Structure 1
Amino acid sequence: MERLAGKIILLSGAGRALAALAAGALASLSQAPFDFPLAAFIAFPVLVWLLDGAVAAPERRGLRRLGPAFWVGWLFGFGYFLVGLWWTGNALLVEADLFAWALPLAIIGLPALLAFFYAFAAALAKVAWSDDIGRIAALAVAFALAEWLRSVLFTGFPWNAVGYAAMPVPVAMQSLVVLGAVGMNVLAVFVFSLPALLAGRDHLKLGVMLGIGLVALHLGYGAMRLSRAEATDGAETVAIRVIQPSILQSQKWDMAERDRIFQAHLDLTTRPVEQGDAAPDVIIWPETSVPFLFSDRPDALAALGAAINDDQRLLAGIVRARAGSEGGADYYNSIVVIDGSGEIVDAFDKVRLVPFGEYLPFQDFLSRFGLRQLAQNIGGFSAGTTRRPLDLGNGISGLPFICYEVIFPGIAPRGSTDARLLVNVTNDAWFGDTPGPYQHFRQAQFRAVESGLPLVRAANNGISAAVDGYGRVIDGLALDAVGALDVKVPMTSADALVPPFRAGVAGWMILIVIGIAATMNNLRSRNPLN
């Protein structure tokens, strides 16, 4: 191992660049749908050794001394996001005649921009670098800070955070309750990087003990929570039908297809339940499932009311129009709740819009160069202002999330809402049969664990499912399936929703403690008296 590490440390030029790219690409295989954590245990030690060798020329001063580490981190990040997010380009091929020219921007440009967060992490870690376990602590803290910044800056895009690699199954997801996303990122990078100590003798035994101990605590806590879940969850359930029509994105806004699409949703809604099953209390359609404005088709609301019973509620993703301030109309990506009389009794407008997908940042400026958002059928969306539970009837309320809103960590902290479940409607048909829908669904599972609430997800095309408050899939529909999923969703007991303490505080405390330890270790290693 020392020989291998030595060769990696001594790499320079193209060799170092290729190694950093390959390590980042390998690390992406630890994410869904591959779920191969061993890849991270290889990739991060390689990154540590590359940073060991990323030493600036003696004449460089100040921040310029961090340049080699910065570019190693950028190349690692570029490989990571290139392999992990290449599928975003698939959305541009839906209307290839309009957007194919932008394919390089999605496949290469987005990873190139996101890679700067990992470049920042590598450079920051290098400030407190040492020759032993301290450098691993510094790298873990720096990556956790970079991932936090990635979730908040420029509207945020926390897709495939490195900590998610440590949570491929529900037993490994439970630590989120205590650590939050920040804590998971810190400890995941720390543990993934520990094999780098095999190339030297300093702190090897400490590293082995910490690695085994942290993994044991992580999985042991998860096993304990799940074992208690079987005994503590209440028997109260709500019957929900989830509609997945799998409409091709190329047909979704075709004027000639709209009646057929609407009827396909109605047919799935009125499909008889299996013998012995109760009729659903709530029926959920996917994002923008109604292919026209209700103001243009008032008959559609009547048809929806006729499709459900008086005691049922139907949630439908729609485009909602409202008169704008300059005489035009503002459009919203919305969810409406419809009762058995065909009346809209509640509604929610999407708060977090997708940049370049649902709105164009700096629109007045960028539109001069021919740039447009993908949602061209209405000229883009406006953002809602607040997120609040929707009234689903029978004393049940659901906290709504439209599409990628569900990827943001901590967006529904445990005990912070009166809602009894999370509702996520989406349209992943944009991404086809790629890793995208699987990664999106995985992040929805994490929100269920964080909140302790069951989550029901209706996708136009995969992956529709019901997940309990521990991230366990109750039932679901596969990608490309067409169907109506009838499921009884267990409500989490009130006792299970009481947080052990303020969510995520432990994660930040761990980050601070490890950061202080890494800094002190760095200062000690520089002291000539030691």
Structure 2
Amino acid sequence: MERLAGKIILLSGAGRALAAMAAGAIASLSQAPFDFPLAAFVAFPLLVWLLDGAVAAPERRGLRRLVPAFLVGWMFGFGYFLAGLWWTGNALLVEADLFAWALPLAIIGLPAVLAFFYAIAAALAKIAWSDDIGRIAALAVAFALAEWLRSILFSGFPWNAIGYAAMPVPLAMQSIAVAGATGINVLAVFVFSLPALLAGREHLKLGAALGIGLVALHLGYGALRLSQAGLTDGAQNIAVRVIQPSILQSQKWDMAERDRIFQAHLDLTTRPAEQDAAAPDVIIWPETSVPFLFGDRPDALAALGAAVGDDQRLLAGIVRAQAAADGGTDYYNSIVVIDGTGEIVDAFDKVRLVPFGEYLPFQEFLSRFGLRQLAQNIGGFSAGTTRRPLDLGGGMTGLPFICYEVIFPGIAPRGGTDARLLINVTNDAWFGDTPGPHQHFRQAQLRAVESGLPLARAANNGISAAVDGYGRVIDGLALDAVGVLDVAIPLAEADTLLPPLRPGLIGWGLLLALGIAAIANNLRSRDRVN
């Protein structure tokens, strides 16, 4: 191992860049749908050794001394995001005549931009670098900070955070309810990087003890929590029907297809329930499932009212139009709640819009260069202002998330809402049969564990599912399947074996503790040298 580490440390130029990109690409295999955490145990030691060798020339001073580490971090991030997010380019092929020219921007440009977060992390870690376990702590803290920044800057895009690699199954998901996303990120990078200590003898026993102990604690807590969970006997249930029509994205807004698409949704809505399934209390259609504006088709609401029973509610994803103050029209990506009379009794407008998909950042400037959002047929969407629970009838409420809103950690804080169900509607048909829908679903699962609330998810082409508050799939529909999911979702909140402190506080406490340890170790190393 020392010989391998030595060769990697001595790499320079193109060799170092290629090794860093390869390490990042290997790390992406730890994410869904591959779910191979061992890949991260290979990738992060390689990154540690590459940073060991990322030493600036003696004459460089100040921030210039961090440039080699910055470049290694950028190459690692570029490899990670290129291998993990290449599928975003599929969305541009739906209307290839308009957007195929932008494929390099999606496939290469997005990873290139996101890689700067890991570049900053590597440079920041290098400030507190040492020759032993202290550098592992420094790298973990720096990456956790980078993931936090990635979730908030420029509207945020925390897709495939490193910590998700440590949570491929419900057994390994429970710790996020205690440590939060920040705590999981810092601990995951710390544990993944510990094999780098095999190249030396200092702190090897300490690293082995910490690594084995943290993994055992992580999985042991998950096993203990799940053993006390179960689907609570006697818990109040809500009967939900999830509609998955699998409409091709190329047909979705075709004027000639709209009646057929709407009727396909209605047919699935009125399909008789299986023999052992209860009649649904709530029926959920996917994002933008209604293929026209209600204002243009007043008959549509009457048809929906006829399809919905007197005691039922239907949640449908629609495009909502509203007169703007300037005399124009604002469009919203929305969910409406419709009762048995065909009346809209509640609604929610999407708060977090997808940059370049639903709106164009810096539109006045970028439009001069021919750039526009994918939703160009309506000129882009406007953002809603607040997220609030929707009235599901019978005293039930559900907290709505449209599409990628569900990827943001902490958006459904435990005890922070009166809702008893999370609702996620989405349309991943843009991305076809790629890793994208699997990664999206994984992040939705983790929001259920964070909040302790069950999740009902309707996706146009999948993955649609019902998930309990422990992240376990109660039932689901495979990608590209056409059908309905009739499921009784228990509404008991998953609150077993939780500390009194909020996960965010615990996560930042872990980050602070490791940060102090890294700085102290760095100072001690300098004293030793001097």
SS in structure 2 opposite 1:216? helix
Matched-pair contact (CA < 8 Å) for 1:441–1:463? yes
Structure 2 distance, partners of 1:245, 1:231, is 29
- Counterpart position of 1:359: 359
Matched-pair contact (CA < 8 Å) for 1:136–1:190? yes
- Counterpart position of 2:270: 270
Q: Does 1:407 align with 2:407?
A: yes
Alpha-carbon deviations, 1:150-192, whole Å to 9, x = none? 0000000000000000000001000001100000000000000
Whichever residue aligns with residue 160 of structure 2, its letter is: N
Structure 2 distance, partners of 1:442, 1:143, is 21
Structure 2 distance, partners of 1:278, 1:219, is 36
- Counterpart position of 1:440: 440
- Counterpart position of 1:332: 332
Q: Which moved more, 1:502-511 or 1:477-486?
A: 502-511
Matched-pair contact (CA < 8 Å) for 1:413–1:503? no
- Counterpart position of 2:285: 285
Matched-pair contact (CA < 8 Å) for 1:339–1:345? yes
SS in structure 2 opposite 1:72? helix
With over 3 angstroms needed to count, the CA separation of the structure-2 counterparts of 1:255 and 1:497, relative to structure 1, is farther
- Counterpart position of 1:21: 21
- Counterpart position of 1:124: 124
With over 3 angstroms needed to count, the CA separation of the structure-2 counterparts of 1:529 and 1:275, relative to structure 1, is closer
Alpha-carbon deviations, 1:276-309, whole Å to 9, x = none? 3211000000000000000000100000000011
- Counterpart position of 1:156: 156
Structure 1 distance, partners of 2:182, 2:173, is 14
Structure 2 distance, partners of 1:36, 1:529, is 40
Identity level (%): 86
Q: Does 1:184 align with 2:184?
A: yes
- Counterpart position of 2:246: 246
- Counterpart position of 1:527: 527
Please report how far the alpha carbon of residue 498 of structure 1 lies from its aligned counterpart in structure 2 after TM superposition.
Answer: 7.7
SS in structure 2 opposite 1:322? strand
How much is the aligned-residue C-alpha RMSD, in angstroms? 1.2
Matched-pair contact (CA < 8 Å) for 2:398–2:420? yes
With over 3 angstroms needed to count, the CA separation of the structure-2 counterparts of 1:493 and 1:452, relative to structure 1, is closer
Whichever residue aligns with residue 273 of structure 1, its letter is: A
Please report how far the alpha carbon of residue 326 of structure 1 lies from its aligned counterpart in structure 2 after TM superposition.
Answer: 1.1
Matched-pair contact (CA < 8 Å) for 2:163–2:184? yes
- Aligned pairs (5 A) from 1:473-484: 473-484=473-484
- Aligned pairs (5 A) from 1:65-104: 65-104=65-104
Please report how far the alpha carbon of residue 253 of structure 1 lies from its aligned counterpart in structure 2 after TM superposition.
Answer: 0.2
- Aligned pairs (5 A) from 1:219-258: 219-230=219-230, 234-258=234-258
Please report how far the alpha carbon of residue 376 of structure 1 lies from its aligned counterpart in structure 2 after TM superposition.
Answer: 1.4
Please report how far the alpha carbon of residue 377 of structure 1 lies from its aligned counterpart in structure 2 after TM superposition.
Answer: 1.8
Alpha-carbon deviations, 1:233-272, whole Å to 9, x = none? 6521111000000000000000000000000000000000
- Counterpart position of 1:387: 387
- Counterpart position of 1:512: 512
Please report how far the alpha carbon of residue 230 of structure 1 lies from its aligned counterpart in structure 2 after TM superposition.
Answer: 2.0
Please report how far the alpha carbon of residue 359 of structure 1 lies from its aligned counterpart in structure 2 after TM superposition.
Answer: 0.3
With over 3 angstroms needed to count, the CA separation of the structure-2 counterparts of 1:239 and 1:393, relative to structure 1, is same
Structure 2 distance, partners of 1:257, 1:389, is 33
The count of corresponding residues between Structure 1 and Structure 2 is 530
Q: Which moved more, 1:225-234 or 1:331-340?
A: 225-234
- Counterpart position of 1:57: 57
Please report how far the alpha carbon of residue 26 of structure 1 lies from its aligned counterpart in structure 2 after TM superposition.
Answer: 0.3
SS in structure 2 opposite 1:229? coil
Which residues of structure 2 form unaligned runs of 5+?
Answer: none
Matched-pair contact (CA < 8 Å) for 1:335–1:347? yes
Structure 1 distance, partners of 2:350, 2:212, is 43
Structure 1 distance, partners of 2:68, 2:366, is 34
- Counterpart position of 1:431: 431
Matched-pair contact (CA < 8 Å) for 1:233–1:492? no
SS in structure 1 opposite 2:457? strand
Whichever residue aligns with residue 472 of structure 2, its letter is: R
Q: Does 1:35 align with 2:15?
A: no
With over 3 angstroms needed to count, the CA separation of the structure-2 counterparts of 1:351 and 1:231, relative to structure 1, is closer
- Counterpart position of 2:136: 136
Structure 2 distance, partners of 1:157, 1:396, is 31
Matched-pair contact (CA < 8 Å) for 1:234–1:493? no
SS in structure 2 opposite 1:317? strand
TM-score when normalising by structure 1: 0.99
Structure 2 distance, partners of 1:79, 1:230, is 40
- Counterpart position of 1:398: 398
SS in structure 1 opposite 2:417? coil
SS in structure 2 opposite 1:258? helix
Structure 1 distance, partners of 2:229, 2:66, is 48
- Aligned pairs (5 A) from 1:463-474: 463-474=463-474
Which residues of structure 1 form unaligned runs of 5+?
Answer: none
Whichever residue aligns with residue 109 of structure 1, its letter is: G
With over 3 angstroms needed to count, the CA separation of the structure-2 counterparts of 1:398 and 1:325, relative to structure 1, is same
Matched-pair contact (CA < 8 Å) for 1:409–1:447? yes
Structure 1 distance, partners of 2:356, 2:254, is 21
Whichever residue aligns with residue 454 of structure 1, its letter is: P
SS in structure 2 opposite 1:140? helix
Whichever residue aligns with residue 258 of structure 1, its letter is: R
Matched-pair contact (CA < 8 Å) for 1:237–1:488? yes
Matched-pair contact (CA < 8 Å) for 1:253–1:377? no
Matched-pair contact (CA < 8 Å) for 2:469–2:494? no
Q: Does 1:215 align with 2:215?
A: yes
Matched-pair contact (CA < 8 Å) for 1:183–1:511? yes
Divergent runs of 4+, >6 A:
none
Matched-pair contact (CA < 8 Å) for 2:277–2:487? no
Matched-pair contact (CA < 8 Å) for 1:21–1:80? yes
Alpha-carbon deviations, 1:37-69, whole Å to 9, x = none? 010000000000000000000000000000000
Whichever residue aligns with residue 444 of structure 1, its letter is: A
- Aligned pairs (5 A) from 1:199-210: 199-210=199-210
